């Protein structure tokens, strides 16, 4: 393979690219659509990739998520689509259903001036019939996960004989989720005369091998992600536990000396919900997302700039180009998907020499992303404790005292009428001076309670070596959004020693078991096994998940009962039940043939001092 390397580094947001969209050769209808969206200049990956893909060359694009890869391949694909021809002309493979839907929605937006254009996302967790009916009616682009694409091809419902372009998006993530063999099978069924584009954040050997084998003389474009954070921004994280995130944010906002706050969430639904909940708690908060008309957006931003609004809850897309000097705090309510998005988010504060604060909410499933952010930015994000009731009440009292003293200094010479009233009240011996002042203070506080009522304190956990593991239990937890559904706890034969991650388990079950990800409950990963809470799994789905492979191993899904599975033991003969109990207690570690410390493998043990 003859690879032509083109390497560039992404700089600050203000750094302009050397091209604009008008000069890239896009179809006029596609260019009009992105102009309507306010796209002015392409990102680095778009500037480099679009001309190559328009020319018909194969491409390897290496760039982090959040650098604009979707538009980098979607815009040239749409520019080359012949809507008058039937048959699938492009196939985009993605690791997850969420990404498939996201790409399909983006393409549909970019193609709004392409008449009779049709795109179809296909993925596990959804019924086959609507997808098959759409394929029968005819689509130009299919976006799908490998498992569902394979199923539709084997059922002879997805015909790729007219395919012109194949795109592999997030190739390294598909490798991590165990889809590499599926990808190779799909590629082998595609026409030999085609254009192939492979996009990946990293380039492991297995992905490089796929590129060498299946791409023809590709051009390679590598974009280095922006990973530096401003030294003027103090970065902290809170390990989400024992307290709803909105309640936690309300506590923080009571204590933190902020001027304006930008809160980042992942979806427009979350933006609306969080803003409403904060407003209900008395904060000046509004939402900003992609569905808000431009005129309304401008009014919201103007209110934030002029101090008529203090808290803005926004999605990443809606916050593009937002530049408000008043922003003193950025709160990552939802952790970003990649490091570059995190850098861009917290770059909204600490500008022009001012200091700023960035706070990151980290759930147990976000721990890996926190470590990646720290390693990539080479900056330690310090842990923080949620303010206690005592902290909040002390702050409220101190603030109230300060407000009274400030008002006294401001109006000392304009209190004659009130002095006379107070003097008359104090002339009555039955009126206590302290009680009188207390009543007046309560009136000044609009009869609102000055201190919080006693309530449950948040459970303070640290994301460190003293983290406590969840005890093993066969009892499934109810789904927060679907409490009426009966849940069961299942055991999977992959664990920490296989390198499995929660996202891989969710992806495998959703894509191969046709189980919507919103119905996949709590996941715990131990040494050689994991547990997952699911609705009662039918036998046919259970059989599929028995043989579904993740990290090179079959899941071997079965109900978790703490009893040994019925299968022959390996190695020397010993009661299998005993062996299983040892494994399910956490894979007792062995040293020179001796078993030691047989405690739950999910636990992180407290280190002894050195």
Consecutive 10-residue averages of pLDDT for the chain (610 residues): 38 45 92 84 88 96 77 95 93 89 91 94 88 93 94 94 95 85 93 94 87 94 72 87 78 89 91 92 91 87 93 85 86 85 86 84 84 84 82 77 78 77 81 81 74 57 41 79 86 81 88 85 83 90 88 86 46 32 33 31 32
Q: Measure the CA angle with vertex 183, ends 180 and 522; round to 5°.
A: 60
In whole angstroms, what separates CA 467 from the centre of its chain?
A: 23
pLDDT digits (tens, 9 = 90+) for 457-466: 555 554 443 3
What is the β-pairing status of strands 219-224 and 553-554? unpaired
Cα(397)–Cα(401) distance, integer angstroms: 6
Same domain, 210 and 238: no
Roughly what angle, to the nearest 10 degrees, separates helices 433-444 and 389-411? 100
Cα(610)–Cα(603) distance, integer angstroms: 21
Same domain, 268 and 214: no
| DSSP per-residue codes, 189-210 | HS-SS-EEEEEESS--HHHHHH
Q: Is residue 27 one of the residues assigned to a domain?
A: yes
Same domain, 57 and 202: yes
Same domain, 262 and 373: yes
Pull the structure tokens for residue 543.
Answer: 């059989």
Same domain, 199 and 244: no
Q: Is residue 605 one of the residues assigned to a domain?
A: no
Residue at which a domain ends, from 360, 387, 414: 387
Q: Is residue 461 one of the residues assigned to a domain?
A: no
Residue 98, SS3 per DSSP: helix
Strand partners, 358: 235, 330
Cα(474)–Cα(488) distance, integer angstroms: 8
Closest of 255, 258, 261 to residue 388, by C-alpha = 255
Same domain, 219 and 247: no
Helices (H) and strands (E) counted in the chain, each on its own, are 20, 23
Residue at which a domain ends, from 224, 245, 275: 224
Q: How confident is the model at residue 593, as a pLDDT?
A: 35
448 to 284, 439, 441, 445, 453: CA distances (angstroms): 18, 12, 10, 6, 12
Rounded to 5 degrees, φ, ψ at 497 are -65, -20
Same domain, 41 and 98: yes
CATH number at residue 37: 3.40.50.300
Same domain, 496 and 577: yes
Pull the structure tokens for residue 448.
Answer: 């609102």
Closest of 339, 350, 326 to residue 233, by C-alpha = 350
Closest of 245, 224, 264 to residue 349, by C-alpha = 264
| Tally of domains within the chain | 4
Residue at which a domain ends, from 171, 203, 224: 224
375 to 176, 305, 324, 366, 368: CA distances (angstroms): 20, 34, 29, 15, 11
Task: Give me the domain span that covers residue 314.
Answer: 233-387
Q: Is residue 330 one of the residues assigned to a domain?
A: yes
Same domain, 72 and 195: yes
Same domain, 312 and 297: yes
Same domain, 148 and 244: no
Q: Is residue 449 one of the residues assigned to a domain?
A: no
Q: Is residue 603 one of the residues assigned to a domain?
A: no
pTM of the model: 0.47
Q: Is residue 608 one of the residues assigned to a domain?
A: no
Closest of 117, 140, 121 to residue 130, by C-alpha = 121
DSSP-assigned letter for residue 364:
G
Same domain, 416 and 360: no
Contact in structure between 218 and 3 (CB atoms under 8 Å): yes
Q: Is residue 397 one of the residues assigned to a domain?
A: yes
Cα(71)–Cα(49) distance, integer angstroms: 10
């Amino acid at each position: 393979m003859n690879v032509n390397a083109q390497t560039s580094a992404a700089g600050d947001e203000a750094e302009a690219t050397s091209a604009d969209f008008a000069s890239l050769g896009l179809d006029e209808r596609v260019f009009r659509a992105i102009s309507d969206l306010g796209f002015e200049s392409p990102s680095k990956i778009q500037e480099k990739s679009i001309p190559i893909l328009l020319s018909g060359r194969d491409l390897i694009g290496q760039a982090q998520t959040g650098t604009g890869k979707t538009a980098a391949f979607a815009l040239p694909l749409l520019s080359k689509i012949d809507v008058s021809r039937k048959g699938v002309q492009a196939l985009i493979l993605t690791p997850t259903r969420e990404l498939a839907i996201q790409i399909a929605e983006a393409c549909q937006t970019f193609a709004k001036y392409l008449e009779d254009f049709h795109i179809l996302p296909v993925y596990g967790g959804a019924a086959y019939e609507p997808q098959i009916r759409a394929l029968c009616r005819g689509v130009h682009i299919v976006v799908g996960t490998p498992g569902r694409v394979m199923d539709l091809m084997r059922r002879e419902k997805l015909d790729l004989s007219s395919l012109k372009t194949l795109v592999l998006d997030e190739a390294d993530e598909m490798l991590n989720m165990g889809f590499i063999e599926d990808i190779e099978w799909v590629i082998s069924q595609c026409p030999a005369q085609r254009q192939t584009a492979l996009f990946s954040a990293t380039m492991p050997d297995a992905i490089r091998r796929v590129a060498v084998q299946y791409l023809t003389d590709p051009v390679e474009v590598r974009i280095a992600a922006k990973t530096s954070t401003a030294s003027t921004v103090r970065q902290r994280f809170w390990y989400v536990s024992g307290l709803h995130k909105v309640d936690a944010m309300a506590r923080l906002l009571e204590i933190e000396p902020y001027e304006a706050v930008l809160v980042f969430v992942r979806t427009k639904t979350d933006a609306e919900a969080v803003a409403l909940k904060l407003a209900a708690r008395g904060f000046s908060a509004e939402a900003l997302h992609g569905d808000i008309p431009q005129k309304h957006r401008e009014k919201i931003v103007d209110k934030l700039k002029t101090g008529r609004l203090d808290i803005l809850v926004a999605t990443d897309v809606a916050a593009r180009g937002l530049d408000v000097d008043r922003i003193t705090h950025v709160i990552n309510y939802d952790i970003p998907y990649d490091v570059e998005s995190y850098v861009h988010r917290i770059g909204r504060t600490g500008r022009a020499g001012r200091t700023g604060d960035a706070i990151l909410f980290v759930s147990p499933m976000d721990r890996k992303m926190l470590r990646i952010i720290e390693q990539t930015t080479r900056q330690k994000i310090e842990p923080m404790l949620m303010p206690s009731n005592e902290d909040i009440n002390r702050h409220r009292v101190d603030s109230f005292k300060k407000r009274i003293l400030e008002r006294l200094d401001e109006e000392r010479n304009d209190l004659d009428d009130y002095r006379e009233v107070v003097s008359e009240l104090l002339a009555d011996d039955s009126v206590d001076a302290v009680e009188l002042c207390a009543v007046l203070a309560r009136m000044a506080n609009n009869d609102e309670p000055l201190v919080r009522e006693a309530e449950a304190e948040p459970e303070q956990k640290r994301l460190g070596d003293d983290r406590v593991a969840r005890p093993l239990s066969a009892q499934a937890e109810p789904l927060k959004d679907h409490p009426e559904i009966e849940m069961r706890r299942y055991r999977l034969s992959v664990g920490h020693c296989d390198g499995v991650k929660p996202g891989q388990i969710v992806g495998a079950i959703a894509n191969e078991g046709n189980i919507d990800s919103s119905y996949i409950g709590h996941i715990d990963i131990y040494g050689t096994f994991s547990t997952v809470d699911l609705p009662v799994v039918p036998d046919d789905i259970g059989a599929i998940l028995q043989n579904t492979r993740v990290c090179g191993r079959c899941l071997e899904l079965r109900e978790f009962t703490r009893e040994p599975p019925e299968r022959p033991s390996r190695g020397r003969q010993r009661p299998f039940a005993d062996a299983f109990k040892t494994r399910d207690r956490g894979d007792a570690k062995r040293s020179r043939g001796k078993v030691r410390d047989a405690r739950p493998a999910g636990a992180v043990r407290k280190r002894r001092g050195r």
